[in-house]
A and B are shown apart, each in its own frame.
Chain A
Amino acid sequence: MSLLSVEDLDVSFRTSRGPVKANEGISLEVKEGEILALIGETGCGKTTFGKAILRLLSRNVKLEGKILFKGRDLLTLSEKEMRRMRGKEIGIMLQNPSLSLNPVLSVGDQIAEIYRCHENCGKKEAGKKAGEMLELVGIDPSKKSEYPHQFSGGMLQRVMVAMGLALHPGLLIADEPTKGLDPQTKQQIADLISGLVRREGSSLLLITHDLEVAERVADRAAVMYAGEIVETGSAGEIFSSPKHPYTRALLESLPGKGLRAVPGQSPSFVSPPSGCRYHPRCEFRMESCPEIRPGLLELEGGRQVRCLLYEKKARQDTGQETGGKTQ
């Protein structure tokens, strides 16, 4: 059963340059107890998606579509109801802990305030729980009176884990939890998060552009490009046999596989490329690619891909004529 089910979500920011459609037509599910990795290059809209779920985006945003959590559409909740969701039902570890932690409050206080707010705990009890949480993520509880600037990058990420999981939410959203860490710390943090989530039977939406981390912990993966989902499927299949040309290029950029950066520039959100958004950079581009906008095509085995190559193939397979318009 799916815990989170996002249906046809559009996220656009009103800016002076015109609307920035940072997410478009996103449909994505996170099942109960599942770890889903959302991968894609910098600026493709991953953080926007993560924050949109908890309605944490700036005021100039417009959200359309449905975000169903346990069957309730979060976009229809009042601000007060939404507050009760945040932290309690859905925890989030924001990208960049050194900016996301308040510099003038001790890390212990920043965890404890979650208990004080949601569980009406007294100061002492909340402090005790915060200490336990720190211990759980591998930090000496006596460090709870220290301040963020006294912690290393890996330790800060651990604090973020403690904050995200403080109330044992059913879903944890982790935004780039391994960014900027050395390879060893990266693995430790990835294992810590996935281990705790698995132990609690919670689900995890792991937002990352680190494919190795995604491969290491995820059950399923979704690939985002220019604000759209271009491929989904089980993590094993996506990493062993990627279908979308972008996913392939992305995997070729892995250190183990030649370290070839995806060629070309990231597209603009204000005036995105026509037709398939990947066409200016695609190795397999066909004549129709700049004109026809590919839909998300269901393949066998629960895989989805957004590419005209497969639409063509599917039509050929079912004996239809080629060249017909797809929307």
Chain B
Amino acid sequence: MWNYIAKRLLLILVVIFGVTLVSFSAMYLAPGDPAEVIAFARYGQDLSAEQIEAVREAEGLDAPVYIQYLNWLEHVLHLDFGKSVISSDDILEEILLRLPATAELALASLFLSLIIAIPAGVLSSLKQNSLLDNACVFTSLLGVSIPNFWLGLLLIWFFALTLRMLPSFGYGSLENLVLPALTLGTSMAAVTTRLTRSSMLEVLKQEYIVAARAKGLDERTILIRHALKNALLPVLTFAGMQLGYLLGGTVIVETIFAWPGLGKLLVDSIFARDFALVQGCVLFIAILFSLSNLAVDILYAVLDPRIRYDKHD
């Protein structure tokens, strides 16, 4: 098992290295001259060429690109993500300030999606081709096809504008959380329900289910001990990936509900041409994503003995 974890960790380091390359080059891939952007933020309109050159020199932007990358990397390794080009705020501080909002929304919507999807998927598979099953399949197909921004607006229109039950945007109280979490949670539940259903159907076909029945076990034990434990393995991996994705901030939903999370920070920084902040956000989000994948891999190993007792251990 340690072997397995070490391998995963190594893989993640490689991925993160790749991400540093990509996020660093974001600065040069975006249109415009970085020195000009900084100078503009500092001195406003009417920039002289000298001012721009001075900034270029001061910020080390005249050095060869790989030197700039290595400098940046060295700072990042010391957890110094630099300062915002626009506001001069510390980038890491800014990101950490936004993290709780994103994490709150991510966990709430993941939880919501799982408590909908797992029972629905399991029931659906147990009563395959019944009315209930068909209803489940249809609803989840609908859920998959509805885009988030539309669902979000629909929920705002219904719960906030028509019923006036919930606030349509903002952050801070539990009431604020309901609509964004519902938007994300239900649309994720649609996919997870389908996955749970097909995974259960696959497991129920297995010979070890017949073997469990042959021992005289009751259906409940067979379902929970033998079927569910196996069927939830892929669901778990998927949920972990979803969590990683959510922790990166959900741009659309955070924007619709004015949710002050990472996604919104990233979008705002892109529009502001704040390339240093974009770099920091992308890198941070990628690291979060990798770490949550690592957590899933470890959890998987704990639940699946075939991985836990790797032959090479």
Contacts and interface: CB of A to CB of B under 8 A. Distances in A.
A86 B76 CA distance: 64
B210 A104 contact: no
Interface stretch (B44-52, B82-90, B212-220): B212-220
Interface in B192-232: 206-208, 210-218, 221, 225-226, 229-230
Query: What are the nearest 3 A-B pairs in CB distance?
Result: A86-B216, A87-B216, A147-B305
B208 A99 contact: yes
Nearest to A102: B208
Give the interface centre of A56, A96, A102, A117 by most chain B CB atoms within 10 Å.
A102
Given A100-B207, A104-B304, A150-B309, A113 B225 contact: yes
Interface string B292-307: 0000000000011110
Interface of B is mostly: helix
A104 B230 contact: yes
Contacts of A105: 225-226, 229
A41 B309 CA distance: 38
Nearest to B304: A104
Interface string A204-225: 0000000000000000000000
8 contacts: A83-B217, A94-B207, A103-B208, A103-B306, A114-B215, A117-B217, A149-B305, A149-B309
Interface of A: 51, 54, 56, 83-88, 92, 94, 96, 99-106, 113-114, 117-118, 146-147, 149-150, 163
Contact of A104 (B207, B212, B218, B229): B229
Contact of B214 (A94, A146, A147): A94
Given A94-B207, A147-B306, A103 B215 contact: no
Given A103-B306, A149-B305, A87 B206 contact: no
Nearest to A59: B128
Nearest to A80: B218
Given A96-B207, A99-B208, A113-B225, 16 more contacts: A54-B214, A83-B217, A84-B216, A88-B216, A94-B210, A100-B207, A102-B212, A102-B229, A103-B306, A104-B303, A104-B305, A106-B305, A113-B215, A114-B215, A117-B221, A149-B306
Give the interface centre of B208, B216, B226 by most chain A CB atoms within 10 Å.
B216
B225 A101 contact: no
A129 B272 CA distance: 70
Contacts, number: 77
A85 B216 CA distance: 7
Contacts of B225: 105, 113
A185 B216 CA distance: 29
A114 B226 CA distance: 13
Give the interface centre of B211, B230, B306 by most chain A CB atoms within 10 Å.
B211
Contacts of B304: 103-104
Contacts of A101: 208, 211
Given A96-B207, A113-B225, A103 B213 contact: no
